Structure 1
Amino acid sequence: MDFAKELISLYGYFAIFGLLVLGIIGLPIPDEVMMTFVGYMSSIHILNYQLSILISFLGALSGMLVSYFLGNKIGKPLLDKYGKWIGLTVKRLETVHHWFNKYGPWTIVFGYFIPGVRHVTCYLSGMNEMKMKKFLIFAGAGAFIWCLVFITIGYTIGVI
C-alpha cells in the first residue's frame, strides 16, 4: 500500500485512475484502502473531493470494461474448449449462465463491496455475454456507489 500512496502523492489523479484499472482487473492492489486514502487526501485539500470521485469512478469502470472484454474474448472460448477438463460440463455452464442472467446484474453492483467478487463478476459478465448496455448500467452504478462510499469514509476520517 505504501507504493500506491507514494504514486498517488506524486502523480495524483493519473495514479488513482491507473491503479484502479489494474486493481479491478485483478492485480493485488488494496482498492478500498487506496480509496480511503484518496478521501483523506481530499479532506486535507491535496486532492479535490468531487474530481477524486469522478476519476476513481472512471478508473473503476475502465477496469471493469477491460475485464468484461477479456472474459468475453478469452474466457468464454477457453471455458468452451477446456471447461470439461475442470469439471465444467455443458449442463453446469448452462446452470451458471441461467443463474447469472437472473442475479448477475445485482451481483455486479453489490459485489463491488466484496474483494475478489468485484473482480470475478466482470469476467463472468463477459463470459455470459451480458448485453453491454445492461453491463454498463449496473457496473456504473456499483462503481459510483463504491467510489463515493470509500472516498467519503476517508474524507470524513480526515475531517474528524
Structure 2
Amino acid sequence: MLLATMTTANPLSPDTLLSGSGALLVLAVILFAECGLLIGFFLPGDTLIFAAGISIATHDIHTSLAAFLIVAPIAAILGNLVGYWIGYRAGPVVFDRPESHIFRPEYVQRSHDFFERFGSWTIIIGRFVPIVRTVATVMAGVGRMRFSLYALYSAVGGILWADGVLLLGHQLGKVKFVRDHKGYIDYLVILVVVVALAPVILHYWQSRMRKR
C-alpha cells in the first residue's frame, strides 16, 4: 500500500507518465529532452522505456509496440542532434559555472573521461549511462566532433538503446514475476544497465591491467 501511494504521488513515476492515451507522445517528449536538453538529465528515460515495454506486454498501453519502436529512437536521435547544436554554439559558456547545482563542471569531466576511454564510441556507450547520455552529446558539440560521424553514432546508439530496452521490457513483461513486481522497476532498470555495460566494464578493466 505504501509503495503504491509513493508511486502515485511521484509525478515522474512510469505509471503516472504512461497513463492515458498520450503515453507515446509523453515518452517521445521525455526522451527528446533527456537526450538533447541539458535540463533533462534528471528525467527517467531508461525507466520509462523499460516500463513502456512491460505495459505494452500487459496491455496497460494499447498503442502498438511497432509505433513505440519507431518513435522512441527517432525522439532520442533528434534530441542528440539538438544537444550537439547546443554544445557547438553555447557549451563552454553553459558549463563554466563552478557554483551551479545543475550544470556542474564534474558532469563535463565525467563525460570527458568517457571520451578519453572510448573515443567516438562514447556516443553509443553513453546512451546506457544516466547523465552521461545527456552531457556527452553536448560535449561532442563543444569538441567540434565531425557532425556526419556524430550523427551516425547517434543513430546507432539511439536504436540500440531505445529499441533494445523497450524490447527487453516487452519480453520481461510476459513473465509473471516481473508483472507482479512492477513497483520495483527502478531496480530492474539498474540491472539492465549493468548487464548492458558489462562488456564495456570488462574491456576497461583489461586495459587497466595491461598498463600495469
Match of 1:60 among 76, 80, 86: 76
1:24-103 to structure 2, matched below 5 A, reads 24=35, 25-26=37-38, 27=40, 28-45=42-59, 46-76=62-92, 78=93, 100=115, 103=118
TM alignment of 1:123-142, pairs within 5 A: 123-142=138-157
Residues 76-124 of structure 1: CA distance to partner in whole angstroms, max 9, x if unpaired? 4x38xx69xxxxxxxxxxxx7xx95994320111111111211121011
Task: Give ranges in structure 2 of 5+ residues lacking alignment.
Answer: 1-6, 98-111, 176-212
- Relative to the length of structure 1, the TM-score reads 0.78
Aligned length: 144
1:133 partner letter: S
What amino acid is the match of 1:49?
L
Aligned match of 1:151 = 166
- Per-residue Cα deviation, 1:132-160 (whole angstroms, up to 9, x for no partner): 21111001101100012211121012112
- Are the aligned partners of 1:21 and 1:60 in contact in 2 as well (CA < 8 Å)? yes
Identical columns (%): 21
Q: Which residue of 2 aligns with 1:14?
A: 25
CA-atom RMSD in angstroms:
2.6
Report which structure shows greater RCO (CA 8 Å, sep ≥6).
1
Partner of 1:3: 11
Query: Which has the larger share of helix?
Result: 1
SS in 2 for 1:29: coil
1:9 alignment partner, SS class: coil
Q: Which amino acid aligns with 2:26?
A: A
Does 11-20 or 39-48 show the bigger shift? 39-48
* Deviant stretches of 4+, over 4 Å: 99-103
Unpaired stretches in structure 1, ≥5 consecutive residues = 84-95
